[in-house]
Amino acid sequence: MVEGTIPAALDRAADRFAGLEALVDGEVRLTYAELARRVRQAARFFEGHERVALCSPNTWHWVVAGLGALYAGATLVPVNTRFTARETLDILDRARVSALAITGAFLGTDRLADLGPARPGTVLRIPVEGVEDPVDGVTEWDALADLDGDFVSPARPGDISDILFTSGTTGRSKGAMSSHRQALSVAEAWAECGGLTENDRYLVLNPFFHTFGYKAGILAAVLRGAAILPQRTFDVRETLRLIETERVSVLPGAPTIYQVLLDAPERADHDLSSLRLAVTGAAPVPVPLVERMRSELGFDAVLTAYGLTEAVVATMSRPEDDAELVSNFSGRATAGFEVKLGENDEVLLRGPNVMLGYLDDPGATAKAVDAEGWLHTGDVGVLNERGYLKIVDRIKDMYVCGGFNVYPAEVEQVLGRLEGVAEAAVIGVPDERLGEVGKAFVRLRPGADLSTEDILTYCERELANYKLPRFVDVVAELPRTLSGKVLKRVLREENG
């Protein structure tokens, strides 16, 4: 086994923490030794595949299948479970995926069935909502138990461990590639800042398809021997129950998660004394929220962080930072990153953990990472005298809905395909629960007869739920510059 790889990290955890709980999900409780055995069985299934996609909610199956693909030497391609079939098939096609692990029925949708015959040739079905009818050519999860788990991983530190797709301001998603060495490095930096140990029990609310859930979640826990407790969807009652019964100590998430926990009427009925570490970001974190998280939820440390798919975790606060600093700044550099401000105070990052590049897109890679190795983030920031970073604006039009990045150009392109729509402009507007939600301004073609309900219904078919505009205004004209460009600044000022 070659050191510096995710498989080697798992094997080391299986040796050091063999009898400790590694994965707890309902009635499933796996020690690190048992987790490693299950992962090697999954690796046998994925053996010979270059790229493996995974589309499933946060369950123990995701951890086994994801680590199994990596153990097999394949590149892991996580797929957002909120994607429609159209969006999912686009990712599978562009990544040239040959094997797919996917849930069937989940939250009223059969994701496997929706893909139809366009799915890859090798498919492993993950049972999230019980036993389902057999499908020709699809392997059921229980078949993994019959596979030989004697497997030596061919992975090497410089191999591409994963491709994480993130939309760009042009509306075309881009696949950010990272190596095993990089994935482990950012996970270790996160674990170090948070003081993660084998005594921690980590409730992972952040989706595994996101860097926060996958690298700052699964990989960080494996490196330190912490127990992973996946929660497939956020439900405040279930979260409170798990914190109490499983003695959860680590609970990262978007600020809205903590606000909901604080406001829950049932909170007083639960023992939350095991909580010690919260890590948040992706939206403003008010000072009163930080203070209440410490005083009412009992967190010893509340940290904020800044990162993006192309760099994962670039800055992070430290346990000794006070509430004012945690609220107003996203910490200082970590994971070997340098941080500086470029033209227009754009945040620039450089270091060994900047992505390897975008999949099959050298033009976009060159635009994002300059000749000196600086990643141009598109965010406007401020650095204080101690090197702490504050994000103050976005050069891009991106907004954050419930902790997920939404790129208006992608939504605008989808709206533009609706018969009768001449053009559309989308902005983020404030929302008390989700931070920001989308508002679309749509100009119709002459003679078109579309209601706001028609437009929203169309979007529900074509877009993941966090990308859906919550409001639609049908307008006669859009504000423009003299050159004809839509003035989104005016739209934001009028709808802020």
* pLDDT tens readout for residues 296-319: 999 999 999 999 999 999 999 999
Pair (69, 155) in one structural domain: yes
In whole angstroms, give the CA distance from residue 262 to residue 259: 5
The radius of gyration of the chain's CA atoms, rounded to the nearest angstrom, is: 22
- Does residue 383 sit within a domain? no
Domain boundary among 316, 339, 362: 339
Which residues lie closer than 8 Å to 13 by C-beta, 6 or more apart?
22, 32, 36, 222, 223, 225
Which residues lie closer than 8 Å to 22 by C-beta, 6 or more apart?
13, 30, 31, 32, 34, 35, 221, 222, 225, 227, 228
Of 20, 54, 8, 403, the closest CA to residue 183 belongs to 8
Average pLDDT over residues 37-57: 97
* Run of H or E including 456: helix 452-462
Which pLDDT score is estimated for 312? 94
Q: How confident is the model at residue 221 (pLDDT cuts 50, 70, 90)?
A: very high
User: Who has greater pLDDT, 419 or 74?
Assistant: 74
Q: Are 326 and 358 in contact (CB under 8 A)?
A: no
Q: How confident is the model at residue 398 (pLDDT cuts 50, 70, 90)?
A: confident
Task: Using the predicted structure, report yes or no on whether residue 5 has a pLDDT greater than 80.
Answer: yes
Which pLDDT score is estimated for 481? 54
Beta strands in 168-300 (DSSP E): 173-179, 201-204, 227-230, 277-280
Q: Which of 296-300, 341-345, 487-491 has the highest mean pLDDT?
A: 296-300
Average pLDDT over residues 364-382: 94
Of 284, 316, 395, the closest CA to residue 348 belongs to 395
Pair (206, 284) in one structural domain: yes
* pLDDT tens readout for residues 415-458: 988 988 888 889 999 998 999 999 999 989 888 899 999 999 99
Pair (276, 413) in one structural domain: no
Pair (179, 68) in one structural domain: yes
Tracing tokens 């995974």 back to the chain, one arrives at: 54
- Does residue 348 sit within a domain? no
- Does residue 349 sit within a domain? no
Task: Using the predicted structure, report yes or no on whether residue 482 has a pLDDT greater than 50.
Answer: no
Could you give phi then psi for residue 426, rounded to 5 degrees? -125, 135
Query: Within a 13 Å sphere around the CA of 296, how many CA atoms are in the beta-carbon half?
Result: 15
* pLDDT tens readout for residues 452-480: 999 999 999 999 999 999 999 999 988 87
Tracing tokens 């800044």 back to the chain, one arrives at: 306
* pLDDT tens readout for residues 113-126: 999 999 999 999 99
Task: Using the predicted structure, report yes or no on whether residue 224 has a pLDDT greater than 50.
Answer: yes
Which pLDDT score is estimated for 289? 86
Query: What is the average pLDDT score of the chain?
Result: 92
DSSP string, 292-355: HHHHTS--SEEEEEE--TTTS--EE--TT--HHHHHH---EE-TT-EEEE-GGGEEEEESTTS-
Task: Using the predicted structure, report yes or no on whether residue 215 has a pLDDT greater than 50.
Answer: yes
Which pLDDT score is estimated for 1? 56
Pair (104, 222) in one structural domain: yes
Beta strands in 345-457 (DSSP E): 346-350, 357-358, 375-383, 389-394, 399-401, 404-406, 421-431, 435-444
Pair (205, 315) in one structural domain: yes
Pair (11, 83) in one structural domain: yes
Average pLDDT over residues 312-333: 93
Which pLDDT score is estimated for 167? 53
Which pLDDT score is estimated for 21? 98
Pair (161, 238) in one structural domain: yes
Which pLDDT score is estimated for 287? 82
Pair (320, 412) in one structural domain: no
CATH of the domain at 427: 3.30.300.30
- Does residue 390 sit within a domain? no
Pair (283, 164) in one structural domain: yes
- Does residue 432 sit within a domain? yes
Q: Are 189 and 313 in contact (CB under 8 A)?
A: yes
Average pLDDT over residues 63-90: 95
Which pLDDT score is estimated for 282? 60
Which residues lie closer than 8 Å to 279 by C-beta, 6 or more apart?
190, 194, 216, 252, 302, 303, 304, 305, 316
User: Who has greater pLDDT, 105 or 65?
Assistant: 65
- Does residue 52 sit within a domain? yes
User: Who has greater pLDDT, 362 or 345?
Assistant: 362
Q: How confident is the model at residue 484 (pLDDT cuts 50, 70, 90)?
A: low
In whole angstroms, give the CA distance from residue 137 to residue 80: 23
Q: Are 140 and 127 in contact (CB under 8 A)?
A: yes
Tracing tokens 């910490």 back to the chain, one arrives at: 331
- Per the structure, the complete domain to which residue 435 belongs is given by 400-494
Which pLDDT score is estimated for 447? 87
Lowest mean pLDDT: which of 147-151, 266-270, 329-333? 147-151
Domain boundary among 305, 323, 339: 339
- Does residue 218 sit within a domain? yes
Of 463, 457, 361, 367, the closest CA to residue 406 belongs to 463
Domain boundary among 321, 339, 357: 339
Which pLDDT score is estimated for 440? 96
Pair (290, 412) in one structural domain: no
In this structure, which amino acid lies at residue 188?
E
Give the number of domains in the chain.
2
Pair (335, 420) in one structural domain: no
- Does residue 363 sit within a domain? no
Q: How far is CA 333 from CA 288, 336, 367, 383, in A?
A: 25, 7, 23, 11
* pLDDT tens readout for residues 155-199: 999 999 999 998 543 456 899 999 999 999 999 999 999 999 999
CATH of the domain at 278: 3.40.50.12780
Which pLDDT score is estimated for 133? 84
Which pLDDT score is estimated for 495? 82
Q: Are 428 and 406 in contact (CB under 8 A)?
A: yes
